[in-house]
Structure formats: structure tokens, C-alpha cells
A and B are shown apart, each in its own frame.
Chain A
Amino acid sequence: MTTIWMDQLSILLPAILNGVTTGAVYALVALGLTLIYGVLHIINFAHGSLLMVALYGVYFLYALVGIDPYLAFPIVVPAMFALGYGLQRYVIGRAGHGKDENIMLVTLGLSIIIENLALFFWTSNTRTINTSYGFSTVDFGVAFIAVPKVVAFVGAVVIAGLLWQFMQRTDLGKAIRALAKEPRGAQLVGISTAHVYAMSFGIGIACLGAAACLLLPTYYASPHIGQAFVLIAFTIVVLGGMGSFVGALLGGLIIGVTESLGGLFLGESLGKIGIFLIFIAVLLLRPTGLFGQRA
């Protein structure tokens, strides 16, 4: 009896640990999405394709210039921030005409543009990098986990913590929260809405830059990679509660483990369905998610 248990545990535990590490990176992607939703009340359908851009950025920095993915941080994160700021300020914000449907459609349009430009310029080949540490593992007693995955987990948690502190303590963070709660009031006390909206969008996209640096050592870049992430990130945001940081982090871990276990029991292709079923179930039964406020 006990041996059967041990056998099952020895399969389950590594799957769960792997799921947790993947989930942390999912959480980082979702964190950007939830920040943008929380402030702008829009769903950024271009989120996945922007992550794809960041992944290619990290890839080319490594392949062409030889910069290690982790050292690419100070280049990729500010670059993604600038891209996000510009997109919100000069494209999304302008095209919206203050209507949510329009903003939604514009971000959808952007994702189509970005993805297909990538397909045109970079072809549909998947690109991977080989780092010296790519295949080293850490022994957790119950399972061996790849070093980059451990780094990604720690990195994601640290960044989530920093972002939370930033939102709580800095003036900009307070301005963002004020704008999220009460746009007109924020405007009255002198907050420049267009600027702060663009800053929030930029920070949300900068999270993608960080996620890309942490992901690439164990992952790959391809033009359609964003699609795989975008629904997962939506699921996490919805599960955790739109706009909630803690929710995004916890939601990411839950989804990571679900995916890992689903793959174990149902196989790679069908295993993904678990995520979408969670997604649909949460949207239907509890659209405010675990930590969201009532809409």
C-alpha cells in the first residue's frame, strides 16, 4: 500500500514542482495583463504578441550580440516599457474614442499586425538558445528541476514583490491606483491621465520583457508563441480576479500545476483543455475570481 503511494508521489511531485515553476512565469505574464486591466479596464489582446516580441528580442541579443538572457534584463525591460508606453499613448489611447469595444478591437488589430510581421520577417521557425547552464539541474530530493526554471521561479516572485511595493509606495504607483479607482477624481487632483495610463501600460509590457528573459533559456521563440500564452494569461487573470496582484500570482501557480498534471494524465494535446475548462468555469460561476472586487 505504502509503496504504491510512494510510486505515485514520485510521479506526481516532480510534475507539481515543474508546474509551480512554469506557473511563476505565467504569473509574471499575467501580472502585466492584470495591471493593465486594473487601471485601464481593457483587456489587452496584444499581450501575447508583445511577449513574443520580447522573446525574439532576448533571442537576437543572445544569437547576434552574445548577451546572456539574464544579462539582457536591463536592455529588454526598458525597451518593452518604451514600446508599451508608445503604443498606449499614440495608438490605443487615440483610437479608443473612450469606448471599451474599440480599445478591445484595436489591441486585437495590433496583435494581428505584430504576429504576422514577425511571421514575415522571422519566418515560422522556432528558435532556441543553448546556454551553458541550460541542462544543469537542482536536486530537490523528490525531483530534479532545471536551473533556469528555478531562476525563473525566484525571479518571478521577486519581480511580483517589487511591483507590489512600487504600487504601494511610489507616487506613480499611487497615481496609477487613484486612476484605477476614480478617474475623474484623479484628474481633478492634477494627475495627467494620458501619461499615467501610458505608464501603466508600459509597466505591464515591461513585465513581459522580464518574463521573456526568464523564459528563453528553457523555452523557444516563434511567431505564434503568443497565442499559447495569451489565453493562459487571461485564465490566470480571470481566476485570480481582474486587477489583483496576489490573485495573478496564485492563479499562475494553480494554472501551472493544472497544466502539468493535465499533461501527465490526459496527454499533451488534451491536457490543455483543463485550462480552458477552468477558464470558462470561472468566467461563468465566479467572474470576479478569487481576489477580485465586485464589478
Chain B
Amino acid sequence: MKTAAAILIVLAALLPMPWLVRSDFWLNFAIMALYYGFLGQSWNILGGFGGQFSFGHAAFFGTGAYTSAVLQLRLGIDPWLCLVLAGVLGGAVGALVGALSFRYGLRGSYFALVTLAFAEVFRILADSVEFTGAGVGLQIPLKQTAANFQFPAKAGFYFVILALTALGLAVAWWLKHSRLGARMVAVRENEDAARALGVDVFRTKVIAIALSGALMGLGGTFYVQYFLYIDPTIAYGPAVSVSALLVPIVGGLGTVFGPLLGAFALQFVNQFAQVAMGDAIGLNLVLYGVILVLMIMYMPNGLFGLAHVSARRLVRRAG
């Protein structure tokens, strides 16, 4: 119940942001932070709760992004309906990749590798076939109405990504309190023991990756609607996969608020880096890499873990 209350408080605090923050710059900052937080939450569901580290979440993200772009452009389907379809297809690709890899018992680095390879296959396909616009990519024509999932003001996008954040937090909260979540954690901690206790390991993992892929697909749609452009490298390249895993690792793996915390922290670091180093190509990614290595070296439980431990220490000292 405490977590549910915390979720509601955080969402309530975030809700009035567009009225409080007048500058488009900071509103964009908040949108990007929430967006990365959402991608991180998707990864966290499979990686944090389920313990399966994917290096190719771009496969689901890109599928969602292309679902939206292609269906809108080629078939004229309503962009909001595309959002739903992107989630469905993202989840379906997740289930397919999961069913294949988990059926054959791939774990650990093998699983990371096979997800990476799937993302790469999708990237090459998107680069080669006609209906995705091949290497040129797809551009969504500008038509800024809410009915068209394009808002004249950034506030509209803010509320959409906030709603998605709420969805992500709700799923994480549900996993914390449901049998499925408990099974996922059991599989993460000790697969053989979980199986011995009667957990259907295969089913649990496939549900986890499908859920994770569905959320990632929604993230892909958001990207397309916000930036109105997608190409194979953005959709299926390694950058998205890395961001999605970095965010929860910085924030705290397998926690409800970790990804949100991690995304805001990274977004601040990113902003400072841009001020300090200018727009030098590649340097902000260097920083991400350094943060990843340092976090694992010194703070494997993430910022949330750190906050948790310090809070406990404070309580103990006070008691």
C-alpha cells in the first residue's frame, strides 16, 4: 500500500509541471527524462524483476516505432490506434524472441547475445525493404492536432508521456504485489529452485518479455510522434538498447521507482555535460559508459539502493 501511495504522490507532483515550468527547454527536459524513464521501466520489468538481461531491446522499440510510422503513412490508420497496435506488436515480437530463446534454455550472456542479434537482423531488414523507407527513413507529415497525436504545445506530449509513466509504474507495482511478479523474482534468484517449487519457468519468462516488449513498443510510438521521424539506426540501433538498460541500472534494478530516478539523474548529467563540453560528438556517450562502469563498480544497487540503505541507517541511528 505504501508503494501505491508513493506512486500517486509522485504522479500528483509531476502533473502540474507544464503550468509551473514556462520554458520549453525545461519542459522538453522533463519529457525526455520521463521518456527514458519509461524505456528504462520496460527494460526493468524483464531485466530487473525477471533477471534476464537483454542487450537488444531496440528490437521491440523499433517495431513499435515502425508500426506507428508505417500504418499511419501507408494505410492512414489513426495515430492513437497505432499506439495500441505498436504495443501489441512490440509485445508479440517480445513473445516471439522470448519463446525462441527460452525454449532452448538460453540464459545470461547467451540471452544477451541473441537479443542483440535479433535487433541487428531487424535493423538490416528495415534498412533493406521498401515499405519502411529503407535507409532514408520515414517522415510523418506535420499536422499538429491532438486528434492526430501531434500537439501544438509541448504540454500535450508531456501529459502523454506522464500517462505512460503512470502505466509503467502501475505495472511495476502490480509485479511487486502479484503472483506473477513473485514467480519472476523466484526465476531471477534461482531458476532451478523455482522450477523445483512448481514455477513454470518458461511461461513466466515469456510473459515477462512480452510485457516488457509491449511497453517498449509504446515507447517507440511516442518517439515517432514526438520527433516525427524514424530510420533503421534510430529504431533498431544499439543506442536505444543501451539507454534502456542504463537507466534502471543507475536508478536501481528491480525497484518500482529506480528507472524514473535513474532517468532524471542521467538527464541532468547529460545536460551538464552538454553545457560543459559543448555538442562534441560522442562525448556524452563516453560519459554514459563511464557512469555504467562506475555504477557497477561502486554502486551495484543503484541510486535507489543507496537511498534505501542510507534511510535505513538513519532510522537505526535515530532508534
Contacts and interface: CB of A to CB of B under 8 A. Distances in A.
Interface of A: 42-43, 45, 91, 94-95, 97, 100-102, 104-106, 108-113, 115-120, 124, 223, 227, 231, 234-235, 238, 269-270, 272-273, 276-277, 279-280, 283-285, 287
Interface in B268-285: 280-283, 285
A101 to B, nearest CB: 5
B104 interface: yes
Contact of A113 (B112, B114, B290): B290
Interface in B236-269: 238, 242, 245, 249
Given A102-B296, A269-B128, A273-B125, A284 B112 contact: no
B125 to A, nearest CB: 7
Given A43-B113, A120-B281, A113 B296 contact: no
Nearest to A117: B286
B101 A284 contact: yes
B251 to A, nearest CB: 14
Contacts of B292: 105-106, 108-109, 112
Contact of A280 (B53, B117, B238): B117
Contacts of B288: 112
B35 to A, nearest CB: 20
Contacts of A42: 109
A102 B298 CA distance: 11
B124 interface: yes
B121 A287 contact: no
A222 B205 CA distance: 39
Contacts of A45: 55
Contacts of B286: 112-113, 116-117, 120
Contacts of A91: 293, 297
Nearest to A277: B121
B109 A276 contact: no
B115 to A, nearest CB: 10
8 contacts: A109-B289, A112-B242, A113-B286, A113-B289, A116-B283, A116-B289, A276-B120, A287-B104
Given A227-B238, A280-B114, A105 B296 contact: yes
A95 B103 CA distance: 32
